[in-house]
Amino acid sequence: MKLLRYGAPGKEKPGGLDADGNLRDLSSHVPDIAGDVLLPDSLSHLKALDFAALPRVEGNVRLGPCVGGTGKFICIGLNYSDHAAETGATVPPEPIIFMKATSAIVGPNDTIEIPRDALKTDWEVELGVVIGKTAKYVSERDAMDHVAGYCVINDVSERAFQAEREGQWTKGKSADTFGPTGPWLVSADEIPDPQALRLWLEVNGHRYQNGSTATMVYGVRYLVAYLSRFMSLQPGDIISTGTPPGVGLGQKPPVYLKPGDVVTLGIEGLGNQRQDVVQG
């Protein structure tokens, strides 16, 4: 099941894709793809619907973030050993956790705005994990019971703010538009193994990232259990699980985004994104 949100920013409506890839409206069944709608019983109710019988949404509509009302946007740093190597870092003995401001979340095809005074705006294709049931002190064995589904995330990063302006990484990760999310929330039952997904990213048609979630150091099951030791995870929370090699920082010489660039990215089974880069 592929769930989504469509419409103008801040006024998105719930929707989904039918078997033929047509966008269908879910407004008569749920108020949004958010909160309690992500609980297992609610998702089971939606899965039982005949999507082909729902109102079809015609025309070229904007896709919003595939999940609304996200309370926590949790990111994992250096979670691919080959990405750690390209940045000159070592694989951490425990997951590196940092937060991305929820105000960074935008739709999958919205523009990326380079912040004022930015020098090194970078890209990162990542697997997003959406929590569907509250997780607190859960075991690895039970961790996947708390996952509603998966999505594509571009963890856009301003490296100068992140690494050269003191403090933690958050200031380099949280600018407006730095969290394109979607196009869809794909329910967990459609992705039997989240550690076997191909993911890629291109800038202006040149492929920089071409990896697999199989090379993640800490997998989804471990991360959900691990994070739940330090904070409760609530329905709609997003875990962005790290990026494979090929980021701009890792190029020789480094390559960073500039106004006029076009970023395209995707994950096997989870859809694609496209963003125009503009000056903020």
Q: Express each pLDDT in 218-274 by its tens digit.
A: 999 999 999 999 999 999 999 999 999 999 999 999 999 999 999 999 999 999 999
Q: Would you tell me how many other CB atoms lie within 10 Å of the CB of residue 158?
A: 25
170 burial (CB, 10 Å; 0-12 / 13-18 / 19+) is middle
Q: Give the pLDDT score at 168.
A: 78
Q: Give the pLDDT score at 82.
A: 74
The structural domains of the chain, with segments of one domain joined by +, span 65-279
Domain 65-279 class, CATH top level: alpha beta
Q: Give the pLDDT score at 86.
A: 73
- Which residue, 70, 60, 15, is CA-closest to 233? 70
Q: Give the pLDDT score at 85.
A: 72
Contact 176, 103 (CB under 8 A): yes
Weakly modelled stretches of the chain, pLDDT under 50: none
Question: Using alpha carbons only, what angle is made at residue 251 by residues 201 and 101, rounded to the nearest 5 degrees?
Answer: 55
Q: Give the pLDDT score at 52.
A: 94
Distance CA(129)–CA(149), nearest Å, equals 6
Cβ neighbours of residue 279 closer than 8 Å, sequence gap 6 or more: 113, 114, 259
Q: Give the pLDDT score at 92.
A: 83
